[in-house]
């Protein structure tokens, strides 16, 4: 009986984990504006804003970058990891933020254009 209960619990855990697998992606775009129409920032850690999108491409949060003009790529990576980010988009990435993101398994994607176009690119790349 205990074996059957253990197997059932294991199956439930596996199924529930698979159900949420596609929902875990959270995309942060370093942006020059607070809207998805705004341009992607030239530098990941120094852009004025971070726009956060879910795995469906829906804007879920916009924040002023608390580290703008302060440098500190590792601190920015910590901040983004704390927000649950799995992908960051910017035109360019400094070595410190890249190292910090790698240690937290956050992907860096370079893109020039609007934040909305950047998110489309990320979501399309995930389908391929």
DSSP 21-89: HTT---EEEEESSSSTTSBBPSBTTTSSEEEEE-TTS-EEEEEE-TTTTT--HHHHHHHHHHTT-SEEE
pLDDT over 90 (residue 121): yes
Parse the chain into domains and list their residue ranges: 23-127
What pLDDT score was predicted for residue 30?
97
Q: How far is CA 27 from CA 6, 10, 15, 16, in A?
A: 36, 30, 25, 22
Find out whether 73 and 98 touch, Cβ atoms under 8 Å: yes
Residues 27, 55: Cα–Cα separation, whole Å: 7
Taking only the tens place, the pLDDT of each residue in 40-90 is 999 999 899 999 999 999 999 999 999 987 766 889 999 999 999 999 999
Taking only the tens place, the pLDDT of each residue in 1-11 is 555 433 433 33
What CATH class is the domain 23-127?
alpha beta
What pLDDT score was predicted for residue 14?
35
Taking only the tens place, the pLDDT of each residue in 21-39 is 444 789 999 999 999 999 9
């Amino acid at each position: 009986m205990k074996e059957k209960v253990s197997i059932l619990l294991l199956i439930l855990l596996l199924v529930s984990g698979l159900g949420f697998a596609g929902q875990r992606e959270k995309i942060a775009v370093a942006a020059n504006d607070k809207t998805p129409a705004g341009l992607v920032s030239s530098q990941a850690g120094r852009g004025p804003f971070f726009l956060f999108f879910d795995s469906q491409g829906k804007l879920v949060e916009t924040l002023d970058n608390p580290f703008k003009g302060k440098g500190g790529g590792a601190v920015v990576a910590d901040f983004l990891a704390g927000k649950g980010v799995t992908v960051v988009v910017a035109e360019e990435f400094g070595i410190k933020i890249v190292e910090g993101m790698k240690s937290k398994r956050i992907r860096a994607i370079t893109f020039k254009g609007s934040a909305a176009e950047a998110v489309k690119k990320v979501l399309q790349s995930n389908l391929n």
